[in-house]
């Protein structure tokens, strides 16, 4: 029987804590790591992060764009990083933010969520702004294969505030409508007490009240960028996310990656321990 992504994410948090290590071979970081700004540099960067995170963090999150910029060689580098990360037992969230309609969305889903695909990940981020229903093919494929989809709900960038906080006639914001519609998908697929596999991207610096977001059921993992370099701390999780805090995946990138290749294992251990120690499961 295939174990759902929601349950695998829950088990990963229980075992290692909620830290997610970003894999962002940004040009500046490649320079800091004395690696070339090329597909080969991105591959080496990614593989070093994967090796450092294995057995220390439950999740890694490759930022697809930093590989994609190198064309076909960059995708080949990403394929290697994804494969090595999954082989290590680490859950891989491909930060691709795909979103389209019909067969085009189905093809995106097949690329990232099909077992055995060159770009296979455990979960992928997706944009719902062509309608949550447009992602139905991705949800169905994820459900069949034990994969996950993280739907953008409330992001921390200022450009998104006007759209995401717009309200309908019932005063329900766009962000909450996305959560409601995706939660209905989860409710149709999970047993009582299980976590859904359609998760949400909600920035750690987002004001839930101002965004019109409420706690939701079934519980589903929340991918929360904004910890570390952007200012949120693990100690803030209970205050920010309230009753949903146990489902939060704390995503950190530059605050860890800037430590450099020589220290990254130590820094991951420190940050993972800090995340675990915040009464995250109360």
Q: Which residues are catalytic?
A: 97
- Residue labelled with tokens 């764009």: 65
Asked if 203 and 226 touch (Cβ cutoff 8 Å), the reply is yes
Cα-based distances in Å from 52 to 12, 16, 79, 162, 222: 17, 14, 18, 39, 23
Cα 61 to Cα 22: distance, rounded to the nearest angstrom: 5
Token couple for 200: 């949400």
Cα 196 to Cα 146: distance, rounded to the nearest angstrom: 11
Asked if 205 and 246 touch (Cβ cutoff 8 Å), the reply is no
- Residue labelled with tokens 């596999």: 197
The 3-state DSSP class for residue 256 equals: helix
- Non-local CB neighbours of 37 within 8 Å, separated by 6+ positions: 27, 30, 31
């Amino acid at each position: 029987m295939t174990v759902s992504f929601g349950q695998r994410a829950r088990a990963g948090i229980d075992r290692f804590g909620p830290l997610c290590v970003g894999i962002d071979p940004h040009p500046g970081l490649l320079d800091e790591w004395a690696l070339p700004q090329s597909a080969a540099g991105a591959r080496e960067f990614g593989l070093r992060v994967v090796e450092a995170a294995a057995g220390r963090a439950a999740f890694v999150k490759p930022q697809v764009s930093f590989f994609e910029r190198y064309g076909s060689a960059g995708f080949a580098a990403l394929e290697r990083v994804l494969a090595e990360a999954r082989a290590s037992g680490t859950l891989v969230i491909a930060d691709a933010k795909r979103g389209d309609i019909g067969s085009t969305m189905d093809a995106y889903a097949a690329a990232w969520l099909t077992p055995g695909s060159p770009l296979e990940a455990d979960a992928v981020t997706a944009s719902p702004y062509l309608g949550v229903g447009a992602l139905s093919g991705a949800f169905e494929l994820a459900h069949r294969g034990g994969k996950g989809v993280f739907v953008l709900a409330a992001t921390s960038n200022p450009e998104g505030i006007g759209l995401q906080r717009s309200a309908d006639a019932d005063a329900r914001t766009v962000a909450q409508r996305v959560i409601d519609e995706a939660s209905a998908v989860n409710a149709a697929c999970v047993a009582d007490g299980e976590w859904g596999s359609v998760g949400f991207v909600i920035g750690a610096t987002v004001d839930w009240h101002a965004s019109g977001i409420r706690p939701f059921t079934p519980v589903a993992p929340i991918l929360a960028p904004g910890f570390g370099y952007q200012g949120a701390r693990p100690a803030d999780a209970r205050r920010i996310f309230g009753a949903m805090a146990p489902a939060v995946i704390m995503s950190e990138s530059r605050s860890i990656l800037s430590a450099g290749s020589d220290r990254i294992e130590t820094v991951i251990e420190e940050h993972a321990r800090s995340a675990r120690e915040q009464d995250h499961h109360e």
